[in-house]
């Protein structure tokens, strides 16, 4: 088991989380309650976010022991270990096990590689047959605010419609085009992505795709609904 790292994707995710948390600071209430994180990875991106937002506290979870070890190293190196912790374990089992007040906001860059099964170069990146298993599960956990990455080739229409059915609106998002990396370029994955796009379950070019980091919210104090704009932004 190894740690996944993608500099462009990580930078986009971290920048987007920082911008969305800052823009909706008062409505999300993270200075009071903090946030939780599904899948901390090596924590590079969110360590920088915590360093940039002095009032932010993050409690992260990851199922990969090497990732947790690396995350803790990076957090210490950036001097934010008093406000950012990462625990080894299943987010869905442990995130709300402390007995404290319900945290309103969760952030995540979930695994979103679509493939017929987990037998791919890095199984930890498998997001299910359509690539959106983890984000769909996250949208059903009851958090008022979900800040999550949504990939254009991972059935984003189903993701957005599932969110709407659960009472969420897309308050805002930041989208960026990315080139296929090592894991998207694996022939088994690339062929599967092509089939999904042909079936109308996503969009991708021959060597590129889009990723948006979106704020899904059920908070009446957060204005707007940009769901249709998000889907248009993901189309190639």
Instruction: Provide the phi-psi class of 131: left if phi over 0, else alpha when psi is between -120 and 50, else beta.
Output: left
Mean pLDDT of 107-130: 96
pLDDT tens-digit profile of 10-62?
999 999 999 999 999 999 999 999 999 999 999 999 999 999 999 999 999 99
pTM surpassing 0.85? Answer: yes
Distances (CA, A) of 114 to 14, 143, 191, 208: 23, 25, 10, 15
Distance CA 12, CA 136 (A): 21
198-222: pLDDT as tens digits: 999 999 999 999 999 999 999 999 9
Flag whether pLDDT at 4 surpasses 70: no
Q: In whole angstroms, give the CA distance from residue 116 to residue 103.
A: 35
pLDDT tens readout for residues 152-166: 999 999 999 999 999
Q: How far apart, in whole angstroms, are the C-alpha atoms of residue 218 and residue 144?
A: 5
User: Please, which pLDDT band fits residue 96 given cuts at 50, 70 and 90?
Assistant: low
Q: Which of 36, 42, 63, 61 is nearest to 124 (CA)?
A: 63
Torsions phi, psi for 154 (to 5 deg): -115, 50
- CB burial readout 112-131, b (16+ within 10 A) else e: bbbbeeeebebebbbbbebb
């Amino acid at each position: 088991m190894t740690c996944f790292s993608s500099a462009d994707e990580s930078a986009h995710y971290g920048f987007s989380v920082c911008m969305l948390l800052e823009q909706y600071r008062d409505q999300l209430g993270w200075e009071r309650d903090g946030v939780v994180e599904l899948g901390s990875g090596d924590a590079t991106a969110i360590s920088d976010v915590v360093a940039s937002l002095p009032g932010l506290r993050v409690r992260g979870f990851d199922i990969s022991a090497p990732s947790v070890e690396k995350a803790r190293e990076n957090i210490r190196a950036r001097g934010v270990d008093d406000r950012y912790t990462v625990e080894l374990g299943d987010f869905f089992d442990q995130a709300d096990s402390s007995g404290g007040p319900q945290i309103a906001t969760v952030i995540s860059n979930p695994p979103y590689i679509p493939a017929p099964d987990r037998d791919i170069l890095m199984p930890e990146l498998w997001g299910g047959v359509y690539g959106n298993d983890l984000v769909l599960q996250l949208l059903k956990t009851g958090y008022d605010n979900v800040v999550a990455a949504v990939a254009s080739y991972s059935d984003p229409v189903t993701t957005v419609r599932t969110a709407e059915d659960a009472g969420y609106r897309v308050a805002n998002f930041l989208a960026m085009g990315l080139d296929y990396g090592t894991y998207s370029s694996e022939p088994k994955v690339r062929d599967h992505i092509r089939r999904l796009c042909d079936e109308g379950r996503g969009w991708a070019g021959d060597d590129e795709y889009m990723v948006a980091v979106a704020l899904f919210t059920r908070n009446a104090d957060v204005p707007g609904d940009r769901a249709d704009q998000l889907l248009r932004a993901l189309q190639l």
